[in-house]
Structure 1
Amino acid sequence: MIENSYIEINKKALKNNYEFIRNLIGANCELTSVVKGNAYGHGIKNFVPTAHECGVKSFAVFSATEAKEILDTGLDFSRIMIMGNIDNDQLSWAVENDIEVYVFDQLRLSNIALQAAKQGKKAKVHIEVETGLNRTGFNRKDLTKTLEFIRNNKDSVEISGMCSHLAGAENIANYYRINKQIKRFDNLEKVFQEQEVTAGKNHLACSAAMLNYPKTVKDLVRIGILQYGLWPSKEVKMAYMVKNKVMEDPLIPVLSWKSKVMSTKIVKMGEYVGYGNSLLAETDMRIATIPVGYSDGFARSLSNQGKVIIAGHRLDVVGIVNMNLCIVDVTNAEEVKIGDEVVMIGEQNGTNISVASFSDFSNQLNYELLTRLPNDIPRIITK
C-alpha cells in the first residue's frame, strides 16, 4: 500500500542528542526518556526500541495505555513510570508488571497499596509533591501523614522516587516562581529525612530546567523535547548558545515528515485556486497537489502561508488546506513532477523546514504540532 505520507526517525541524530544530554547531567544522574503523547509524535512502538538501542532503559509516560505499549516491545527496562492517569482497575496490572506510578493523593496511594497486598508484592510509587504548579501533588501538611502511611504499609509500598513539576522553566518570566519551587522541593526533601523515609530517586528537572536551572539536576532527569533534537523554547536555545559560546546547534532533529507530489496542473490567470476565493491567480500558475491535509496534522491555519520543499525549492502552500490534501505553487520550479518527494518537516538538498518554523506558520507549539501527527502515519527508522 502506498501511504499519503511517512515519518522518518533518524537514529544517528538520536544518539547525538543523548550524548549531548549525558554530558550535561553527568554519569551519576539517570536519564529518563519521556515518551508521552506517542513519543511526542515520533511513535512509541518505533521510538522506544531505537532509544533502547542508544542505551536508554528508563522511560516515563502519562497513561497506563502508553506504559503497556512500552511493555509490549518485550525489551528489558530499568524503569517504566506513569506520571499521570491510571484507573483503579489498572493498578493491579501496574503492580504485577513492576510499573512505577506517581501518587499525588491518599486515595491512589491507598488503592495501589491494597492491590499490592493482594499480590504479596510491593507497589513502586513516586511521591509527587506540590511545589507551586498547583496541579497535582501532596501539600506539605499532608506529606507527613502520607509518609506515616507508607511506613505502616512497608510490605506493600516501596518509594521509588520523590518528584514535582516545574511551572514553565523554559521562560525567564517564570524565574521567580521556578526558584521558589526549587526551594520548596529542597525543603520537602528534608521532611523525608525527618520521617526517616528513603525517598528513592529525587527528580525535578525537565529539558528546560536541566539547561536553565542546573541545581534541579538531582538523581534523575525527565527529558522530553530535548532528546528529539528540539529546544523547549527559542529563549532556552539562545541562553545556552550564548552562555557556552556555541555557534552551531548541538542538537539534531530526529523527525522528518515527507510525502510525494500527487498531481500537477496549470491554473490560468484570473482563476481561483482551491476552495473559496482566498487565492486568485494573478498570472498563469503551475500548481502541485500533495496528499496531506489537516486530517494528517498539516494544520488548516497553514492555508496560504505554509511552506514545503520539493526538488530543493522552498515553496508556498496556496489556497485552503483541505482535509486530505494541500496545493503548492510550483510555477518557479519547472522540474517538479508527479512522484517527487515533498518535505513538510526536515531537510532536502540543503534546504530545511524545521519543526520550529513549521509551528510558527501554523501558530502551534513544537509540542502541540508533533503530538497531533496521527498514529497511523508510518514511522520508519533511518540509520
Structure 2
Amino acid sequence: MSATAATTPHHSHRCWAQIDLAALERNLRLIRASLPAHMRYVAVVKADAYGHGLHHAAARMMHSGADLFAVANVTEAAQLRELGPGWPILVLSPLLPAEDHLLCELDLAATVSTPEEVARFEAVGQRFGRRIKVHLKIDTGMGRLGVWHAQAPALCAQIQRAPHLALAGLYTHFASPDDDPAFTAEQRRNFLDALTRCEGQVGPLRDALFIHADNSAGLGTLPEESRPFNAVRIGLLQFGILPAPHALLTQVRTEPVFSFHTRIGIVKHLPAGTTISYGRSHRLTRDTRVAVLCAGYGDGIPRALSNRGQVLIDGQRCPILGRVTMDQTIVDVSALGEVRSGDEVVLIGTQGGAQIDIGEFSRWADTIPWEILCSITKRVPRLYQSPLGI
C-alpha cells in the first residue's frame, strides 16, 4: 500500500488515511502494562499491519518493546526483515514448498500443522546446516490450521526428533472468543490437555517456549492465573480498535490510530423528485443541496454504505444518498452552512467533536473492522503523524 511521510494532508490529497504513530506507541505500552508480568507481546502485523503500513507500524513497535512479530506469509516477513536482523518473526500461514528456503535465508519461525511440513522443514534445515524454529499449532475447534489436538503429542515428538528443527512455541486459535465463552473455555481445556500430553511425550516445554492462545478479542477470557500461557497475540487492539468490547481487559482503553478522510469535489442543488446515482435507488423528496465526494469503493468506501452510511462535514453527520460509485460518493449537505469544493470530509474518525468510529462504519457495511482496514486501497496514501519522525 502506498505511504506518504507527512504530518498533515496537502490540499492536493483527494482521499487519505491518517496514522497516529504516537497513539500506536501509547496503546502498546498500555496493553503491556495491563498484562501479567510474565506475558510476552506478540505483535500481529499481517495485511500491511491491518492497513496501517507495515514498515512504519513495526518500526514504532520495535521501539515500544514487542517481543515477537507475527505475519501471514513470507512476503510480509521479507518486508519486515528489511527493518533489520534479529527480530523474531513468526509466519502464521502455511508455506508453499517453493518458499521453504526463506525460513533459513530470512531467519523465520514457521507454523507447523502436519507431519509433511515437519519433513519438509527438516530437509531444508539440513540443506542449509541450520535449525529452523517452529511453532506447533494445535487445532482445538477452529477447524482451520493446526494438528487436531488428539494427534498433537505425536507431531510434537516428531518435531523434537528432527535435528534441524527447534520447537519455539505451541499455540491455538479461538473460533468465537467474543461471543461464545463456553466453547472458548472448551478450546482452552483441549489446548491445555494437549500441552500436558505433549510434555508426557517429550518432557517439560512450558518455560522455554511461547505458549499462546489469546488475541485481542480473547483477552477477557484470560484466566486470572494465566500460566502456562506466557504470550498473547495482539492485532486490532494495538491500533485502538475494540474487536469485542465486552471481552476486553477492563483497564485497557486504547485510542484510535487510524482515520479515513476525503474531500468535497463539487456542491450542487437538485430539485425534488431527482433520482440519485446508478440504479436510481434514492429519490429526493425535497429540493436538496448535495456534495459529491472525491472517493468511492475504488478507495475503500464499501458499496454497502449506499443509502445507509454517513460522513462528517463541518462536524455534522451527512447521509449518503444513492449508490456509492467507484470514484465518487454523494451526500446530503442541505443542513449545513456554506460548504465548498476542497472541504475535508471524515469517513472514519472525529471532526468538531463528532465521531464515526470504525465499528459503526463496519456495521453499516454488514462487515467487521478487519475487512474494512484491509479494503482501503492502494490509491489512498497513508500519512504518518509522529513527533519522533520514525
Structure 2 equivalent of residue 226 of structure 1:
237
Structure 2 equivalent of residue 315 of structure 1:
318
Structure 2 equivalent of residue 165 of structure 1:
173
1:290 lines up with 2:296 in the alignment: no
8 Å CA contact 1:57, 1:77 repeated in 2: no
CA drift of 1:54 comes to 2.7
Q: Residues 55-104 of structure 1, C-alpha deviation per residue, up to 9 Å, x if partnerless?
A: 325210111111112112x2355311111131111111112221111000
Q: Distance in 2 between matches of 1:8 and 1:216?
A: 36
CA drift of 1:258 comes to 0.8
* Percent identity of paired positions between Structure 1 and Structure 2: 27
- Residue of 44, 47, 51 corresponding to 2:57: 47
8 Å CA contact 1:202, 1:220 repeated in 2: yes
- Aligned ranges for residues 181-260 of structure 1 at < 5 Å? 181-197=187-203, 199=205, 200-214=209-223, 218-236=229-247, 241=250, 250-260=253-263
Q: Residues 318-364 of structure 1, C-alpha deviation per residue, up to 9 Å, x if partnerless?
A: 12110111011111112211111111001112111100111111111
Letter in 1 for 2:366: N
1:266 lines up with 2:266 in the alignment: no
8 Å CA contact 1:30, 1:221 repeated in 2: yes
Q: Secondary structure at the match of 1:124?
A: strand
Structure 2 equivalent of residue 4 of structure 1:
14
Q: Residues 285-322 of structure 1, C-alpha deviation per residue, up to 9 Å, x if partnerless?
A: 11111111112221111111111111212111112110
User: How does the TM-score come out when normalised to structure 1?
Assistant: 0.91
Q: Secondary structure at the match of 2:159?
A: helix
- Aligned ranges for residues 66-105 of structure 1 at < 5 Å? 66-72=76-82, 74-105=83-114
Q: Distance in 1 between matches of 2:327 and 2:383?
A: 21
- Residue of 133, 146, 156 corresponding to 1:147: 156
Q: Secondary structure at the match of 1:293?
A: coil
Q: Distance in 1 between matches of 2:144 and 2:182?
A: 18
Letter in 1 for 2:14: N
Q: Distance in 1 between matches of 2:361 and 2:313?
A: 15
8 Å CA contact 1:35, 1:60 repeated in 2: yes
1:378 lines up with 2:386 in the alignment: no
Q: Distance in 2 between matches of 1:382 and 1:140?
A: 45
1:330 lines up with 2:333 in the alignment: yes
Structure 2 equivalent of residue 38 of structure 1:
48
Moved more, 275-284 or 100-109: 275-284
8 Å CA contact 1:159, 1:198 repeated in 2: no
8 Å CA contact 1:9, 1:47 repeated in 2: no
Q: Distance in 2 between matches of 1:324 and 1:29?
A: 46
Q: Distance in 1 between matches of 2:255 and 2:153?
A: 45
Q: Distance in 1 between matches of 2:376 and 2:203?
A: 43
Q: Secondary structure at the match of 2:59?
A: helix
Query: Structure 1 residues 302 and 94 mapped into 2: Cα distance closer, same or farther (>3 Å)?
Result: same
Query: Structure 1 residues 234 and 150 mapped into 2: Cα distance closer, same or farther (>3 Å)?
Result: closer
Q: Distance in 2 between matches of 1:294 and 1:201?
A: 41
Runs (4+) of structure 1 exceeding 4 A deviation are: none
Query: Structure 1 residues 355 and 85 mapped into 2: Cα distance closer, same or farther (>3 Å)?
Result: same
Letter in 2 for 1:202: I
Structure 1 equivalent of residue 184 of structure 2:
178
Q: Secondary structure at the match of 2:41?
A: strand
C-alpha RMSD of the superposition:
2.0
8 Å CA contact 2:149, 2:190 repeated in 1: no
8 Å CA contact 2:160, 2:166 repeated in 1: no
Q: Distance in 2 between matches of 1:41 and 1:322?
A: 22
CA drift of 1:140 comes to 4.4
CA drift of 1:37 comes to 2.4
Letter in 2 for 1:193: E
Q: Distance in 1 between matches of 2:86 and 2:103?
A: 14
| Gapped regions of structure 1 (runs ≥ 5) | none
Q: Secondary structure at the match of 1:295?
A: coil
Q: Distance in 2 between matches of 1:110 and 1:219?
A: 28
8 Å CA contact 1:64, 1:85 repeated in 2: no
8 Å CA contact 1:161, 1:202 repeated in 2: yes
CA drift of 1:253 comes to 1.0
Q: Distance in 2 between matches of 1:360 and 1:145?
A: 44
Letter in 1 for 2:63: E
Query: Structure 1 residues 316 and 126 mapped into 2: Cα distance closer, same or farther (>3 Å)?
Result: same
Q: Secondary structure at the match of 2:124?
A: helix
8 Å CA contact 2:157, 2:202 repeated in 1: no
Aligned length: 371
CA drift of 1:197 comes to 4.5
Query: Structure 1 residues 315 and 140 mapped into 2: Cα distance closer, same or farther (>3 Å)?
Result: closer
Q: Secondary structure at the match of 2:278?
A: coil
Query: Structure 1 residues 252 and 231 mapped into 2: Cα distance closer, same or farther (>3 Å)?
Result: same
